[in-house]
Structure 1
Amino acid sequence: MYCRVKRPGWMLSLCLNSLFAFTVSAQAGDDLPTSLPEARAMEAQDALPVTAFYTAPAAGDITPGKLIRQEPGTDYVLPSGIKAWRILYHSLDAARHDVTTSAFVLIPEGTPPKGGWPVVAWAHGTSGVAQPCAPSRMKDLYYGDEGLFEFPKAGLAVVATDYHGLATPGPHQYMNKLAQAYDVIYSVRAVREAFPGLSHDWVVDGHSQGGMASWSVAEMEQQIDDPHYRGAVSVSGTVDMLDFIRPAPAEGGAPFYLPMVAFGLRARYPEYKPQSMLNHAGMAHYNEIATSGCWFTGYAALYGKTENQITKSNWTRNLAVQAMLWENAIGNQSVRGPLLVITGGGDTSVPPGGVRSTARKACNNGIRLAFRFYPGLDHDPTMTNSVKDQISWIKARLADEPFQSDCGHF
């Protein structure tokens, strides 16, 4: 049996046994690391070896979405009925520079429907900012035990970008809606080249960091106008960045993400200095988080710390931080296709108030969306407990069923 509990607030763990059944677990705090040695050991247990597969080519066609190489993913822990691959492809960073990005692909076994398996472009939540933190380099694919396997079991192929800088060379532009959206969009082009038998119809679905990315994809598709794009799902998305990095005291918050935010700021704006945000306590384990540690390491490194204990005063007034907030604004631009926005009432990592207010702002700006609120659920349980609803909504979009907006009713 393979079981894991990953992040704070996780009340249900998914255990991979012969039935891949849902089972009730203890409080997350009992399963998360409280020391760095424990965190490192947990990450090492799930890690796959570094291989030359992720090495960027020295030359060649750098068209965004161009497939570089592919290989079977025979080293993952998968339920029966699913085959996995890895792909490497060209993408763009936030400034539209060429970058090499990796992804994994999940395809149902069996006979595909006429036209091929429809595609879900998956955008994952925070795994870390260092190269080892790519989901395709994890045995469980990071979200395998949070409902991701339910998509191929439901007859949907999945292409899941790592985001550039995770596994591949160069810094990961963490929490940048443009960079992450490009990686998602071009993963779809690459997977079509790798597996031409797949359907051209696709949707995007993302959680947390990926929830921002999926909404950003919907914005970009307004200009791209891909006729095969059918809609977007944003689950617990960081669509209100200020509320994510500076939540109100009553909202909780997760300050251990802040060193990763500082890393992302430097990746996007090279002149930015993490010391502009982080004080001595905040910088104590920054280098490890930036180069080798992943989510568990970040959590354990700042376990029990508050934002005030690890940051300098007025750090959000920095010009680079203000530029990040402006660039990552969500809900102002028109989107193409239907949009489903999901949040949990007990989410202490991405406060539901910010998600709701962003959705209302979008409605006021003429964006039609469906809004789903799951009372009492924290960050990861919202993802897991809404998977069936996500799949049902996605299949309705692929079937061209009428879309009903909830604007004015939440």
Structure 2
Amino acid sequence: MATIVVAQAAADLSLSSLNASTTCNEACKELVLRVSSWEKSQMASDFSFYEVPTSFSDAMKPGTILSLERTTNLTNYTVPTPLTMSRMMYTTEDLNGTIIPASAYILWPSIPLEVPDSDSSNATQWPLVAWAHGTSGGLAPCAPSNYRNLQYHFQVPYLLALQGYVVVAPDYAGLGVGKLSNGDNIDHPWAVAPAQANDVANAIVAARKANPEYLRPDGPFVAMGHSQGAGAVWSFTERLVDKPIPGFKGAVAFAPPTDIVNQTRKAIEDHEANNTQLWTNTFLSLQPSLANGITAAYPEFNLSGLTEAGRDRWVNVQEAVQGCLPTKGVSGIGVPLAQLAYRNWTEQPTVLDFEKRTAVGRKPFRGPLLIAAGDKDSVVDFKNLEVNVRETCGMLQGAGVQESLEFLEYTGQNHFPVIQASQGKWLGWIRDHIFSTANVSHGCKFGTVQGFQREDAINFVFPNFLVEVAEAGEGWKYSL
């Protein structure tokens, strides 16, 4: 009932707020409201869990537990019945090192894998996978821990937990927990990979503190992420060079965007030259999200890269309905992509500083690191990613650094499908590294995996299926 009340109140507010838009016509408003209403129907509970306790202080250490929901009511989730879940609020650090609260979920396996403890012939440890999600949105309601299907469902978290791993998944700062107890906003710094790397690291620390009987401070873990989360995980491996976390066994990154500002710059140039590539239009459409992410890290920026139309679609449409990724896909309809932001907005000093501080790659990291990407990715520039990887490898070789990096190209695969196309590889990779049976070689390795009958398969950016929950009295739907 609480979910219905919250959704109705939000819908009423949205209708009023959309009237302030000067560029979204009636058809646009109708579509945005329909999509955002559907989003709200996919949320499992009201947002009371994400209210920050008054005990929070920015003097706390990162990784401190603020609140713990040890057993989450899964009635409104699609989590497979053998599994259980917890949610927690913990402290993390933003790009500038300021302590802020954030949320995460922990997915518990029914039958955990048991990893032999090297210090004892009899004891075992439960392995952990830190899962970093891809873009869910840029506003507080967009927390995967409150999505009925946890956003990536059987693609990653359900699958891992069913394989026996404990899955610790941060929402990222500004998603879920959107306000301090004094009312100050916590904005989500989209595309700030080092900040999301902090969220991953501190979620691991907090989960171990909250569950010491199951997760040892030095227990084995792998970090894993897709898209925005893959950038976070790669940045996490760079963070480990100076801030190691005991038990690290390796990291897996699917389709990581490594320099979002530069890819935006290239998208603008390609569009002007009528040289549209697979990912060009996607990145042009993401300019309002990027401007908002920069504003979260640099409040004085204040969306200044956006045109009047771009600002209107973000403030009076996206923010008005508190929309997430599905709404983002329709909130810009009717505005030409080239008119969302000013032509040279990526050259502003604030943006250049943001670019320098947030770019991933071409730096020392702690491996082993497995990167998988599809050559038909319509979100991430595959060629630019490959160049980044090769330059990172060259940097390591030149510095005499002994680390392990494997880069796999999956032919014919798009942004989300590469996760499942590579499933046989990464499931084995994680297990081998968790159990320390992998033969880890230093240096870089490149490979190409040819897809079977790719010309006959659907080439879609998303996974081509939807996981939903049956409403009360409709449990019979699950028999299909």
Shorter-chain TM range is 0.7 to 0.9
Amino acid at match of 1:217: F
Q: Determine if contact 2:113/2:127 at 8 Å carries over to the other structure.
A: no
Task: Report what 1:263 is aligned to.
Answer: 292
Task: Report what 1:87 is aligned to.
Answer: 88
Task: Report what 1:251 is aligned to.
Answer: 278
Number of residue-to-residue matches in the alignment? 377
Q: CA deviation at 1:60?
A: 5.3
Identity of paired residues, percent? 29
Q: Which runs of 5+ in 2 are unaligned?
A: 1-28, 115-122, 180-185, 271-275, 397-402, 448-480
* 193-202 or 247-256, which deviates more: 247-256
Which of 210, 222, 233 is equivalent to 2:229? 210
* Structure 1 Cα separation of the partners of residues 419 and 332 of structure 2: 24
* Structure 2 Cα separation of the partners of residues 318 and 229 of structure 1: 38
Task: Report what 2:120 is aligned to.
Answer: none
Task: Report what 2:444 is aligned to.
Answer: 407
The reply on whether 1:73 has 2:72 as its aligned counterpart is: yes
RMSD over equivalenced CA pairs, Å: 2.1
Which of 133, 136, 147 is equivalent to 2:145? 136
Which of 296, 300, 317 is equivalent to 2:347? 317
Residues 287-315 of structure 1: CA distance to partner in whole angstroms, max 9, x if unpaired? 24246111011111124755313121111
Which of 289, 302, 306 is equivalent to 1:273? 302
The reply on whether 1:187 has 2:223 as its aligned counterpart is: no
* Structure 2 Cα separation of the partners of residues 41 and 385 of structure 1: 32
Question: Are residues 399 and 211 of structure 1, via their aligned partners in 2, closer, same or farther at CA, if it must alter by over 3 Å?
Answer: same
Which of 13, 20, 38 is equivalent to 2:34? 38
* Structure 1 Cα separation of the partners of residues 229 and 334 of structure 2: 26
* 312-321 or 299-308, which deviates more: 299-308
Amino acid at match of 2:375: G
Task: Report what 2:373 is aligned to.
Answer: 343
Task: Report what 2:314 is aligned to.
Answer: 286
Q: CA deviation at 1:172?
A: 0.8
Task: Report what 1:352 is aligned to.
Answer: 382
Amino acid at match of 1:329: A
* Structure 2 Cα separation of the partners of residues 282 and 157 of structure 1: 41
Question: Are residues 387 and 320 of structure 1, via their aligned partners in 2, closer, same or farther at CA, if it must alter by over 3 Å?
Answer: farther
* Structure 2 Cα separation of the partners of residues 293 and 59 of structure 1: 30
The reply on whether 1:58 has 2:60 as its aligned counterpart is: no
Q: Determine if contact 1:34/1:303 at 8 Å carries over to the other structure.
A: no
Task: Report what 2:18 is aligned to.
Answer: none
Q: Determine if contact 2:362/2:389 at 8 Å carries over to the other structure.
A: no
Q: CA deviation at 1:405?
A: 5.6
Task: Report what 1:167 is aligned to.
Answer: 176
* 245-254 or 159-168, which deviates more: 245-254
* Structure 1 Cα separation of the partners of residues 376 and 139 of structure 2: 29
* Structure 2 Cα separation of the partners of residues 374 and 166 of structure 1: 31
Q: Residue 271 of structure 1 aligns to a residue in which SS?
A: helix
Runs of 4+ in 1 over 6 A off after TM superposition: none
* Structure 2 Cα separation of the partners of residues 273 and 60 of structure 1: 27
Task: Report what 1:198 is aligned to.
Answer: 215
Task: Report what 1:231 is aligned to.
Answer: 250
Task: Report what 2:462 is aligned to.
Answer: none
* 118-127 or 247-256, which deviates more: 247-256
Q: Residue 369 of structure 1 aligns to a residue in which SS?
A: strand
* Structure 2 Cα separation of the partners of residues 41 and 146 of structure 1: 24
* 144-153 or 209-218, which deviates more: 144-153
Q: CA deviation at 1:130?
A: 0.7
Amino acid at match of 2:418: T
Task: Report what 1:178 is aligned to.
Answer: 194
Question: Are residues 407 and 297 of structure 1, via their aligned partners in 2, closer, same or farther at CA, if it must alter by over 3 Å?
Answer: same
Question: Are residues 303 and 236 of structure 1, via their aligned partners in 2, closer, same or farther at CA, if it must alter by over 3 Å?
Answer: farther
Residues 311-354 of structure 1: CA distance to partner in whole angstroms, max 9, x if unpaired? 21111101121112111222222111201111111111112112
Q: Which runs of 5+ in 1 are unaligned?
A: 1-32
Q: CA deviation at 1:138?
A: 0.8
Question: Are residues 326 and 150 of structure 1, via their aligned partners in 2, closer, same or farther at CA, if it must alter by over 3 Å?
Answer: same
Q: CA deviation at 1:404?
A: 3.8
Residues 244-296 of structure 1: CA distance to partner in whole angstroms, max 9, x if unpaired? 3233422333133221111110010111031x322132222212424611101
Q: Residue 35 of structure 1 aligns to a residue in which SS?
A: helix
* 136-145 or 277-286, which deviates more: 277-286
Amino acid at match of 2:199: D
Q: Determine if contact 1:244/1:349 at 8 Å carries over to the other structure.
A: no
Q: Determine if contact 1:54/1:88 at 8 Å carries over to the other structure.
A: yes
Residues 162-198 of structure 1: CA distance to partner in whole angstroms, max 9, x if unpaired? 0011111211111111210000000001111222212
Q: CA deviation at 1:122?
A: 0.7
Q: Residue 337 of structure 1 aligns to a residue in which SS?
A: coil
Q: Residue 125 of structure 2 aligns to a residue in which SS?
A: coil
Q: Determine if contact 1:206/1:214 at 8 Å carries over to the other structure.
A: yes
The reply on whether 1:48 has 2:75 as its aligned counterpart is: no
Task: Report what 2:23 is aligned to.
Answer: none
**Greater gyration radius:** 2
* Structure 2 Cα separation of the partners of residues 383 and 375 of structure 1: 13
Which of 361, 375, 378 is equivalent to 2:411? 375
